[in-house]
Chain A
Amino acid sequence: MAKYLLLKHYRGGPDRTDYGTIPMSDWTPEEVSDHIAFMNHVADDLRERGEYVDGQALSPDGTFVRYDGPGKPPVTDGPFAETKDLIAGWMVIDVESEARAHAAAAYLSSAPGKGGEPIQEWIEVRPFLEEPKFVTD
């Protein structure tokens, strides 16, 4: 079993349409509820399969921060310039294979959006670096 991080950006789907062009606030209330219900369902499905580890939604607020030298306060930079690379949230799963991680991400990606159509959003999938195996030689 291996752990993967699934990152949801505000990246949009195949045409790379940012959420920004059809923000959720422009959907119908039912479409918003359906989308959220679907996201919860994905998490429940992963729990039921024994694959769910963690998940968080992130506020769109945030900044970049860096050290600015001894005795100086940290420097901040924001708001984030590229909306589509902003991370909306993440899930951690523990699955049998990379293929299974991709299938889980694809399922998440099929969440319904405007008009009830699957958004087909790009989900970033990152394998964890884990413990070294005992036997190496």
Chain B
Amino acid sequence: MDQGPIDGALRDLSPQVLGVLVRRGADFAAAEDAVQEALIEAVRRWPDELPAEPKGWLITVAWRRFLDAQRSDTARQRRELAELEQPAPGPSEQHDDTLLLLFLCCHPTLSPASAVALTLRAVGGLTTRQIAEAYLVPEATMAQRISRAKRTVADVEIGAAGDLGTVLKVLYLIFNEGYTGEVDLAAEAIRLTRQLAGTGEEPEVAGLLALMLLHHARRAARFAADGSLVPLAEQDRTRWDEHAIAEGVVLLQAALARDRLGEYQAQAAIAALHADARTPEETDWPQVLEWYDELARLAPSPVVALNRAVAVGEVDGPLAGLRAVEQVPAGVPRRDAVRAYLYDRAGDRATAHELYVAAASQATSVAERDHLTRQAARLHD
């Protein structure tokens, strides 16, 4: 059997199986190790012989691994073991488990990178090797990161309600800052956010999902064949994914109708306005600017102020845009790139050139650096 569907099935089942073990009384760290071992065994065995009941198979194997690991411990644990070996049957509330696991894996005591690693492992069902490959670190390093994360949350009560805002930040981080290797982290973030959106009624979760879908829709147009970055205004919009856009827009409209606005809904609204324009010239910039004003109210930050300044430049002209950028503190990423763009629009090629050179030296990615260098070269007279 092809590996693809097996991987997909395992990723869906793994947090469910973890939830079952935890509900039976296994502590999170030991349960997570046991599930991981069952996953590895499934990857080895299922291509040759797919079980009739994959979920039941995983639960049986994981539970057996858990008990074996416990048995190699002290007599005290043997007492607890006697209770555990008679597990109480119960319904596996899949959605509740996902949310509780997310609260644990995204606990505020964890650093962002630790939360990302633990979430991808325990909720995403990815193996350590897959996560290591996705973040370009050795497998042993990622294994340590996950181990340490589990120790950090060892005393957190698994049933306790957590902070949804922190969960959304972690999911956004997975979407925004992962590489694509064997595992597509952006797609994984969408999958996990979709699972979360299915659990409840929070419009910000739907807002985040809409935001991800609307940005993901542009993916095929972001880079040219030679790997160079293509800015939004120059992207071939026929390469945008219309289905993803449509779904994002529907989700966003439903969320907005709940009248509980939040930063992810506002960001999604901006993305939707861009997605709605068949050409860059048709972009409803006044509306975009209004949404940036909302976003600045909901989640003020220098980055928001900078992006808002771009919108001001589109609505009121580049000089107004430059005045708006002046309010943004120096040192904010892309500030010089934005100024360069606005000076260019205002007709001051010399200043634009200088600023593109400066911006290129501050770029944090090769693609961005190359793009800015090309802009500087274009304006070199």
Contact = CB atoms under 8 A, between A and B. Distances in A.
Please report whether the interface of chain A is mostly helix, strand, loop or mixed according to DSSP.
Answer: loop
A52 B138 contact: yes
A47 B141 contact: yes
A137 B307 CA distance: 6
A137 B137 CA distance: 29
B290 to A, nearest CB: 16
Interface string A48-89: 111111100000000000000000000000000000000000
A26 interface: no
A105 to B, nearest CB: 18
B141 A1 contact: no
Contact of B175 (A49, A50, A134): A134
Nearest to B233: A137
A116 B115 CA distance: 40
A26 B143 CA distance: 41
A96 B176 contact: no
Nearest to B267: A135
Nearest to A96: B111
Contact of A133 (B147, B148, B176): B176
A49 B186 CA distance: 26
B113 A53 contact: no
Nearest to A2: B364
Interface stretch (A6-14, A17-25, A124-132): A124-132
B274 A132 contact: no
Contacts of B135: 1, 94
A47 B144 contact: yes
Please report whether the interface of chain B is mostly helix, strand, loop or mixed according to DSSP.
Answer: helix
B232 interface: yes
A130 B176 contact: no
B141 A51 contact: yes
Interface in B358-381: 363-369
B108 interface: no
B145 A50 contact: yes
A137 B144 contact: no
A49 B138 contact: no
Interface in B85-139: 111-114, 135-138
Interface string A95-137: 0100000000000000000000000000000010111111111
Nearest to A132: B365
B113 A96 contact: yes
Contacts of B221: none
A58 B121 CA distance: 36
Contacts of B140: 47
Contacts of B229: 132
B215 interface: yes
A51 B138 CA distance: 9
Interface in B153-196: 175-179, 186
Nearest to B363: A129
Contacts of A133: 176-177, 365
A131 B148 contact: no
Interface of A: 1, 3, 47-54, 94, 96, 127, 129-137
